[in-house]
Amino acid sequence: MDIPKQKLAVAVMVINPENKLLLVKAHGRGWEFPGGYVETGEPIKEAAIREVKEESGIEIELTRLCGIEQDLARSTCVFLFQGKPVSGELACSYEHLDVGYFSVEEAMRNIKLQVFKQRVIRCLQQDSQPFVIEL
């Protein structure tokens, strides 16, 4: 019997004191929450903190788990967290075209992919969390 292989990823909805969302602009995908794959042997929460720092220059503290999205076609589970900035300055990584904080309305206008718009909505709806979604 083959043991199934699932990739683990993280994405973080970082909300600053002005209630704005941190977004990064990726090649091809456009604006989205910072995130990426969990490395072998790396704790999931540490991966979330690391990815935000690498992609935006911002050090964060995780405040809660919002939920999990399972992408069945890609065999990937994305753990979605909420976090708050604790230090650092915005800095665009080599992986991205831009980085910034946006109001929820601005974020929804800027995000082009429907799956990422739905992610914002799910992460903001605290009364239905934690969620587990199959895509």
pLDDT digit string, tens, across residues 106-129 = 999 999 999 999 999 999 998 888
Indicate whether 1 belongs to any domain: no
pLDDT score at 59: 97
Going by C-beta distance under 8 Å and a sequence separation of 6 or more, which residues neighbour residue 11?
32, 33, 34, 35, 48, 78, 79, 80, 81, 119
pLDDT score at 5: 84
Number of folded domains in the chain?
Answer: 1
CA distance 47 to 63: 15
- CATH (domain of 75): 3.90.79.10
Indicate whether 2 belongs to any domain: no
The partner residues of 25 in beta bridges, in order of sequence, read: 31, 98
Q: Is the peptide bond before 130 cis (omega within 30 degrees of 0)?
A: yes
pLDDT digit string, tens, across residues 1-51 = 778 788 999 999 999 999 999 999 998 899 999 999 999 999 999 999 999
